[in-house]
Structure 1
Amino acid sequence: MAGVWLGLACLLRQECALLWLVWMVVAPREEAERRGLVRWLPKGAAIPFLALVSWSALRWFLFGRLLPISYSVKALPMAVDLTYGLDYLLGDLALLGSGLLALAAVLLVLGTSARPVDRVIGWGFLVYALYVVVVGGDFIAWSRFFVPAVPLGLWSAAVLVQRWQIKPLALGLLCVVLQWPAALPDQDLRSRGARFLDHQVFEERWSLIGRWAGEHAPEGTRLGTSPIGAIAWYSGIEVLDLLGLVHGHSLGLEPDLERVKVKGHHRSATNWMLEERPHWILLGNGMRVDGRLEINPWEVDLYQSAKFQDDYRRIEIDLGQGPPLDLFVRRDLPDPGRVR
């Protein structure tokens, strides 16, 4: 059954292949010691492999690539990615505590009395956490990249609590002590309610922009912006991705490590965007900061280019609620509806 569950996991998230590899390495060793079989593979080991091959074949057929475009576009020099990844791990200490769970996993796999399943789970968490650090982590709050592996880390910690027979009071005091990262500087520990409101504001704004674009964009209109899925979803128009996470036109470009500090946003397909000449261009995520448009660092080259300034004019759109939308429209095209 383990092969079936891992196969389903690999269909949902291909990073689960890391746990499959751990299972292939660790579980056979346990079986070999118990049964005397040197090259025995776990039963059902081919199921996750077939799931991964199916995804890879589909991606190759659709996009001509074995790995997602976003993986290559977001990749930075190893030292830079490790710096981002370690910062991501440190920032997570006061949220999910993945670093502390990793310590529990290390103690678990180094123990002599660990069961085979515990070793697989412990090593699985460690390998997954290492993968997150190596790729540089993520830029969104609440450590979403660590979330899929948290149950493995909690399992490791629970096994240690049971093995060491830690009393509830001592465990509670330990949890309080382990909250020390919350006192570190630059830790954004706003409440979940505040985070939810942040998300709600962006979601409502982008869905509002998308609905307006769907109602007022002439047929065939193309919008150039960062890859904001809600705008494309609600508008139904073609969105050209400046970062290249969808179209891949920023592959091979040198990352801007000086101005851009947001992981995954270091490459911008500026020249490609100008060559495509989208009808409309949306900058600054469609938001206003302190009542004015604020250009994102990865949009500066596009905004400051002479061709952009010559070919586009800026107008304000009344969306019916919230601040007006700053939209850049090609000079040879008429104004869309609801211009202020």
Structure 2
Amino acid sequence: MNADNDPTCSLLLQCISLALARSGPVSSSAPLLVCLASALLTEIFPLRHLYTKVRDFSHRNSARLGHDEVKKHLESVLFKEAGAITSVFCNQYISVDVESEGVVENLVWDYSQDIYLGHRQVVLMLRGKENELVGDMGKIAESAFLMVVLFALTVTKHKFNSKSTQETQWDVSVRILVSFSCLEYFRRILLPEYMDTIRGVIVSVQQNESACVSFVESMPSYMGYPAITPFEGMASGVAALVQNLPAGSPAIFYCIHSLVEKGSTLCGDIFAQEVDLLRNRQGDSDACKKILELLLCLISLVDIQSLSYLCAQATSGSAASKGVQKEVNMTSARSTDSLSLTRLNARL
């Protein structure tokens, strides 16, 4: 059911979801489950629609119109009943046929990836100009994150306690981890349901090499760091994931390798600047320090055998940067706040 361009359908979805939230138990039905999924993703958490509208308004220099709609939605009865509707949705899910389960699972996982992409675009467009609008859309996204977490926990308990094949469990586990990675930005509190879901799916993923590879390859890119994603949120999310992985896990190696590469690039960029420019690049220096903190946190969680790989990476990076370091010795000596590649190598 698609309510994006049909006011009648939109109103029907709203009425159905509110009625179910305020009534007693209702027999499970596949069409009803799909209706609830559509209501949650298009009416209760209409972020995709809002992102599109805000982008259109921004191009016409009338973002205020989009803000009025967001404010109105935050104050609506429908949004305030999101928790109750999510509960009904999860209860409906566990009693329908496998095909219908798969349909709504894909809807939710795809929604998570759409929010990751859409929110970043809108923030880049409005940051510094419409911060209140960005904050209000963030409130909707935070609630959407909670909905995804509760649904993911329901899926995990249902799939892992039923007769689902291992392949199905591996696939579901990867999709859940990727969805959490996409929405981690919006996590503001430590949720038991969040950690319980991660612990459940990690056990499945770590048992299969192809599932590990699939998860690593599907992780969303943080190439924009530190422009949008808060360091504390990203770091806590990465730590929450990796602390449940076995030593030597491909996912941990991937995170460490990416951080080493990113840190080396940032340090190299800083060292290549002249003295005056270097003094004005405190932001990049802070980014280096934060990446180093996260890198050291990850290393503390990894089996000692991985250190040989890291030392080899550090040695290689040190040799490649010798020429640059000669030219900036005076600069780096005067700038105690700057993070040098030599210090990075030494601490590794």
TM-score computed with the length of structure 1 as normaliser: 0.25
TM-score computed with the length of structure 2 as normaliser: 0.25
Task: Kindly indicate which of the two structures has a greater share of residues assigned to strand.
Answer: 1
Say which one has the larger Rg: 1
